[in-house]
Amino acid sequence: MPAAVPVEIERQLVRPSEPAVFTDAELNGLPDPVCRYLRAAIASGTPPATAAQLRMRGQIKLGRWLPFQAEELLAPHQGFHWAARAAGVVSGFDCYAGGQGQMRWRLLGLLPVMRADGPDLSRSAAGRVAGEAMWVPTALLPRFGVDWLAADDHHLTARWRIDSHEVTLDLVIDNQGRLRESVFQRWGDPARTSTFDLHPCGGEVTAYATFGGVSVPAAGRAGWFYGTDRWAEGEFFRYQLTSMELVTRPSS
């Protein structure tokens, strides 16, 4: 199984719980489509956690498609730690915490195959945090500084800050308020040109599930260039959630 989250990273990502549980009153003043999405995603009375622990499996494209299993601690306002094992031979983690991103991957647990950090990676990793916020809808409540807009009944935009990074997440929802597609501008070099820039990144949802008061995407696919004619080359991630749990720690 993937490695556990280091204690120092967990302390940075998991924040004290808020005292007031989620109710419809919190949505007063928001556009109707935004209310529809948040009501569909969060059951009344759910603790407004800002982090979640996830387990998933699926396929990841590393030159070719390989099976993977992963565990993730995700906090849409602080960062993430994603530890995985692919094809039983490549293992390691991606992480963003304390404003810094890093990647550490090894073959057979011994031979380094990827080691990266620095400003470009940190900016890219912060974008990834925003893209995965769909899995912690409680963290997208207005009380946490998220600004919401609705272009129409099905197209929403959420904006907030992750450290020094302003992030924007565009969502497409159905008539019931469930998420069907998401896209955001992510800093990266997907074509491996040694030049970083902003590129559309996102994907589509193919299944939903409810875990402890929140209903979230349980299966889908994602990658670079979503919504463009380069999507076929950019897709690199197909997932299925196997478990999810909202995470908080007591107020000090």
Q: 57-78, pLDDT tens digit by residue?
A: 999 998 899 999 999 999 999 9
Find, among 130, 141, 134, the residue nearest to 21 by Cα: 141
Instruction: Give the start-end residues of each E strand in 12-150.
Output: 51-62, 64-75, 79-86, 90-97, 100-107, 111-117, 147-150
**Least confident residue range of 15-19, 41-45, 220-224:** 15-19
Span 9-31, mean pLDDT? 91
Cα gap 36→83, rounded to integer Å? 33
Cα gap 144→137, rounded to integer Å? 11
Own/partner contacts of 155-161, CB < 8 Å, gap of 24 or more, are 155/33, 156/31, 156/33, 156/34, 156/37, 158/133, 160/76, 160/77, 160/130, 161/77
Half-sphere exposure of residue 133, counting CA atoms within 13 Å on the CB side? 32
Find, among 114, 112, 85, the residue nearest to 102 by Cα: 114
Given a cut of 60, is residue 252 above it in pLDDT?
Answer: no
Calculate what percentage of the chain has a pLDDT beyond 90: 83
Span 218-236, mean pLDDT? 97
Q: What is the pTM of this model?
A: 0.94
